[in-house]
Amino acid sequence: MSNPPSTKPASPFAPLRRVVTGHTLSGHATVVEDNIQAARYFSDAATSPCYDLYYSSTTPAANDSELENAGGNSKWVDEVKEHPEIPPAAGGSNFRCWDMPPGSVTPMHRTLSLDYAVVLKGSVVLDLDNGERTVLAEGDTIVQRGTIHAWRNESDEWCRMLFVMIGAKPIEVSGNVLGEEYR
C-alpha cells in the first residue's frame, strides 16, 4: 500500500477513531491505543482510502501481547504497522474499513482469505468472474470465500464498507490450486 498523495479524492465520511483495549501488568483493563487512523491506498493509482484497524498474525489471537516480555513495562505492539499486506497471512486476521468514491472500480482479484463485510454507507456492486453481479446496499453483508471478484461503485455517492479478513488455505478445484490473483 502507498501513502495518499494530495491528489487523492477526500472521503466525505468521518475519520475513523480506533480504540484498542489491553491489560496492565496488574491485570486491569486499560486503553492501549486511542487514535484517528490514517488512510492508506492499495496502489498509487487507487482512489479508495483504506483504514487498517487491527491485525493479528495468529489464531487464536494473542490478547496479552503487551504483557509478554514487558520487563516491567507494559507496551502494546501495533501489528497493523508491521503487516500492511492486503490479505492476512494464513492463521492471521485483519479488520479494515474501506471508502470507495463514485465511479471507482477495483481490479478483479482473489485473496487467500475468508472475508466478512458489511456495507455501512452507500451501495456497491460485487462483480464475479463468471459475469454475476450483485448490488449491495447499506446494511447488506457478504461472506467472500476466496472467489475472484471486483468491487464497483456505480452510484454518485461514496460507499463505506467494513471488512474482517481471516487468512485461509488455497482453494483446489479439479486438481488446480486457485491462489492469490490480481488482474
Q: What is the structure's pLDDT at 115?
A: 96
The beta strands (E) that lie in the chain are given as 17-23, 29-36, 50-56, 93-100, 109-110, 113-121, 123-128, 133-137, 141-145, 149-152, 159-167, 171-173, 176-178, 181-182
Cβ pair 82, 120 in contact under 8 A = no
Q: How far apart are CA 183 and CA 106, in angstroms?
A: 10
DSSP 78-98: -HHHH---SSPPTT-EEEEEE
User: What domains does the chain contain, in order, with CATH numbers?
Assistant: 17-182 (2.60.120.10)
Cell of 46: 487507487
Residues 88-139 have pLDDT tens digits of 878 899 999 999 999 999 999 999 999 999 999 999 999 999 999 999 999 9
Please indicate whether residue 80 or residue 35 has the higher confidence score (pLDDT).
35
What tens digit of pLDDT does each residue of 12-65 get? 999 999 999 998 888 899 999 999 999 988 788 889 999 999 999 888 888 887
Q: Which one, of 59, 54, 58, lies nearest residue 22 by Cα?
A: 54
Is residue 52 within 8 A of residue 92, CB to CB? The reply is no
